[in-house]
Amino acid sequence: MSEQFFIDDKNKFIEKNIDFIHKTSSFICKKRLDKSNDEEFSIAMEAFNKAWDSFSEERGNFFSYAKTVIRNSLIDYFRNSKNIPVLYFEEDEGAREIDNTISLDKYDREMEHRSRLEEINSYKEKLEEYKIDFFDLTKSSPSHRDTREDILNLALLCVRDEEIMRSLYDSKKLPIVRMIEVTGRNRKFIEKWRKYIISLIILLSSKDYIYLKSYLNIRRKE
């Protein structure tokens, strides 16, 4: 662990930060989680434990990193749980509610910035396999929030379908006929937003890109 920690016992450290874990996970899930009964809180606890085990100084500030790991663990849970079919994008102002509780010194910011750049470069290379330019994504992204959320949930359905994922990875193209069957969307919609759909599927289906996923500010709808 980094020298920023003065608690050597992991269990004591987790216990000391239960409120941080609870606040972070409740915010992402858009409901006050029951620490004893809600699976989402258990997942957040496991994620915080994972953050402790995987943290290094190159990651920057621990709590910023832990928040990102918790968010991505819950996104993975949302992705795999058919009981949570709808996600949405939180406004940036809301996402900063948690970030503002975290104080980053210059060294932390530099290390975190370096990690984010490494992720972006890796993601750019992955997108190139699908003939997508990372810097063109802004031009290929919908301007309306409703459309972005429609595509987010379309991507979520695709990630859950093994046939779609296998075909996409093998051919580097969207299996439109199968996607129409699974999502109920028409060909015109899928083809129009092809690049944006693929970019989301890559993010949602990967256990990498923890910082890029956090930019999405994904939360579940009640």
Tens-place pLDDT, residues 111-122: 667 777 888 899
Q: Pull the structure tokens for residue 206.
A: 């990967």
Looking at the DSSP bridge assignments, the partners of residue 70 are: none
Q: What is the pTM of this model?
A: 0.60
Looking at the DSSP bridge assignments, the partners of residue 87 are: 220
The residue type at 115: S
Q: Pull the structure tokens for residue 133.
A: 């330019």
User: Which of 73, 107, 141 is the last residue before a domain boundary?
Assistant: 107
How many folded domains does the chain comprise? 2
Q: What angle do CA 147, 150, 153 make, to 5 degrees?
A: 150
Q: Are residues 159 and 71 in the same domain?
A: no
Q: Are residues 134 and 214 in the same domain?
A: yes
One-character DSSP codes across 40-74: HHHHHHHHHHHHHHH--GGG--HHHHHHHHHHHHH
Segments forming the whole domain that contains residue 153? 127-220
d(CA 160, CA 151): 14
Quick: pLDDT tens for 188-215. Answer: 999 999 999 999 999 888 877 877 776 6
